[in-house]
């Protein structure tokens, strides 16, 4: 199943720069592992924001929830999920 996921990150100023850097490094490693596995085939930055649009390819709503909740930045994210279906006019 494909999902379009919009993630907006807001790390509070109470998180030290060192802790934020550690969390971001863990986030990068986890997200790249998901990309290599094919579960996170598309990741785009939103220009001028600490946000992204991503496409996830997972088996179920539960798997997507589990995957997203394991993101190290998850506690600092506002996430919107849109399930996707093949469009009848799409050529691929």
Taking all residues of the chain, what is their mean pLDDT, rounded to a whole number? 97
- Other CB atoms within 10 Å distance of the CB of residue 13: 7
- Other CB atoms within 10 Å distance of the CB of residue 86: 8
Cβ distance 5 to 81 under 8 Å?
yes
Segment 40-77, tens digit of pLDDT: 999 999 999 999 999 999 999 999 999 999 999 999 99
| pLDDT for residue 92 | 84
Segment 6-53, tens digit of pLDDT: 999 999 999 999 999 999 999 999 999 999 999 999 999 999 999 999
Write down all domains in the chain, each with its CATH number in brackets: 2-84 (3.30.70.1060)
> Coil, strand, or helix at residue 65?
helix
Residue 20 backbone phi and psi in degrees, to 5 = -60, -40
């Amino acid at each position: 199943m494909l999902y379009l996921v919009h993630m907006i990150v807001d790390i509070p100023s109470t998180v030290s720069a060192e802790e934020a850097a550690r969390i971001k490094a863990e986030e990068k490693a986890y997200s790249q592992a998901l990309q290599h596995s094919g579960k996170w085939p598309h990741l785009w930055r939103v220009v001028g924001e600490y946000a992204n649009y991503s496409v996830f390819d997972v088996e179920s709503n539960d798997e997507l929830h589990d995957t997203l909740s394991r993101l190290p930045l998850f506690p600092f994210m506002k996430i919107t999920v849109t399930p996707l279906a093949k469009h009848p006019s799409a050529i691929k």
